[in-house]
Amino acid sequence: DSADPEFVAAQAEAEVLAERSSELAAALSGIPVEGGLAMLRADPLTQGPRIFEANCSQCHRFEGHDGLGGQPADPPSASDLAGFGTRAWLAGLLDPERVATDEYFGGTEHVNGRMSRFVQRGVARFSPEVRSDLAKVIMAVSAEGSLPAQVEQDAVQQAEIEEGRALISGEEINCTRCHTFRDQTEGDVGPVLTGWGSRDWMLGMLHDPTEERFYGADNDRMPSFGAEKILTEDEMGLVVDWLRGDWVRQDSQGH
């Protein structure tokens, strides 16, 4: 059996699950009455990658792979979602050298769209001063997600984030030319930035990306996972929490 690759893989997976069960039990002060399997079934770190691999990796990647470390046969046709919502992810999207690569819009219909053109033609010509303002806008938009790994940093940099919120509708950067941010907008041709990257925002996108607050008629092949009942609410929650890094850790009580 030790020479059977499937047996070896199954044994390795069992060891990972056993270790994760121990971590969860320690963080949650014991195994719940429903049992250890129920604990794992409700764990975003355990289930999120599996749901992603089965339902999302046909188009998206996570750090270049399918969520479980595998490499799909076909190249990606949508953005890499590792770090989605973070400042670093947004900075990459707004990088003229990266926006049209497979990390972001390279495999999508949006590769020649307004956002891509804005980054490649507009951001590329920003002065150092405007680039400094753009960094604050990135802080502000990313802060909308209240990401667990970033919430303390956001709290420390509230002044810069407030500046960024004002700059979102400023003359130079003017995200509200295409996006709605809170009560500011000049046109709704891109996803709403209010709450961008938050749990509710991501669940809404998964439920139905064709809603007007997301892509509307410009949706590029993304299924309506909730509206079409491809995934349950629990399954969507697990993959969203995994992508957001929102799961129980051994050194903490809760998320």
Say if residues 47 and 28 touch (Cβ distance below 8 Å): no
Residue 177 forms part of a structural domain = yes
99-103, 167-171, 247-251: least confidently modelled range: 247-251
Identify the domain containing residue 177 by its residue range.
Answer: 128-242
Domain count, the chain: 2
CA distance 187 to 177: 6
Residue 112 forms part of a structural domain = no
Residue 81 forms part of a structural domain = no
Residue 188 forms part of a structural domain = yes
> Above 80 in pLDDT, residue 2?
no
Residue 54 forms part of a structural domain = no
Residues 145-159 have pLDDT tens digits of: 999 999 999 999 999
Report the predicted TM-score, pTM, of the whole model to 2 decimal places: 0.91
Residue 195 forms part of a structural domain = yes
Residue 98 forms part of a structural domain = no
Do 136 and 230 share a domain, yes or no?
yes
> Residue 183's pLDDT band (boundaries 50, 70, 90)?
confident
Say if residues 189 and 114 touch (Cβ distance below 8 Å): yes
Q: Give the per-residue pLDDT at 3.
A: 64
DSSP-derived letter for residue 224 is -
CA distances (Å), 208 to each of 67, 204, 219, in order? 22, 6, 10
Q: And the tokens for 113?
A: 């769209």
> Residue 253's pLDDT band (boundaries 50, 70, 90)?
very low
Residue 211 forms part of a structural domain = yes
Residues 109-123 have pLDDT tens digits of: 999 999 999 999 999
